[in-house]
Amino acid sequence: MLLWYIALFFIALILGLLDVSPAFTFLVIAVYIILSIPYVIPIIWSRDTEKMMNYLKKSRNAYYKFLYQFLNGDEEEAEKIAQGMREGRMKDMALVMLHIHQKKHREAKLILKKMKDGLFKNYYLAAVLFEEGDMDGYDLYKKKVTDADYRKWLEIEEAVRKGNRTEGLKMLDEQIARLRGMKLLSAVHYRNEFLKNSISQGEGKE
């Protein structure tokens, strides 16, 4: 990250020495930022899951540290980090993800209902209500999920619950083939959980 700032400084310095117009300087810097950010912060646009996980692991951001442990399957460490986070939206998001993973749906709903309306709230409320068999509530919140990828994850879960596990896995693999950044990490994590549950139920990897 330090090298990124150094490069940005030198670009601005060189453009200043060349006495180019402010508009051109702004354009060049904007292009540099747009093109380089995905490499500096891989969780935005990368398809390299190992690189993204390393970024989360090394980050000083508590939520990213939580995500690393959560996606890596270390639930105990993830919970310790989540509980130690400052009060606010990031902590609420971390706790909701943990509670749902632990099947603590009541606790997850209590947090979700206090959160502002948005994609995270609508998606996870839909997921919880589906788990509880409240299909009216599920349909209500599913309609509020405007992101196509998140809606697809709900549809995949619907297929799995109907017994179409092979179809669900196929839909998930199609998503993984085109997703990037955090959505890709989330989809890969979901796939790993999917296969682990299949094995535990004696069905093997479909």
Write the pLDDT tens digit of every residue in 110-133.
Answer: 999 999 999 999 999 999 999 999
Q: Are 189 and 180 in contact (CB under 8 A)?
A: no
Q: For residue 172, is pLDDT > 90?
A: yes
Residue 58: count other Cβ atoms within 10 Å of its Cβ: 10
pLDDT score, position 24: 77
Give the model confidence (pLDDT) of 68-100 as tens digits.
999 999 999 999 999 999 999 999 999 999 999
What's residue 205's pLDDT? 43
Euclidean distance between CA atoms 109 and 99, whole angstroms:
9
Average pLDDT over residues 145-162: 95
Could you give the percent of the chain with pLDDT greater than 90?
A: 71
The whole-number pLDDT of residue 189 equals 94
For the residues 132-136, what does the mean pLDDT come to? 96
CA distances from 172 to 6, 136, 149, 186 (A): 40, 25, 10, 11
CA distance 187 to 181: 10
**Residue-averaged pLDDT of the chain:** 89
**Does an H or E element contain 7, and which?**
helix 2-17
More confident residue, 35 or 129: 129
- Model confidence at 9: pLDDT above 80: no
pLDDT at position 17: 66
Across 44-64, average pLDDT: 94
CA distances from 169 to 100, 124, 134, 163, 193 (A): 21, 20, 24, 11, 11
The answer on pLDDT for 191 being more than 50 is: yes
- List CB contacts of 165: < 8 A, sequence separation 6 or more: 159, 198, 203, 206
Pair 31, 24: CB distance under 8 Å: no
Specify whether the CB–CB gap between 25 and 34 falls below 8 A.
no
- The pTM for the full model equals 0.83
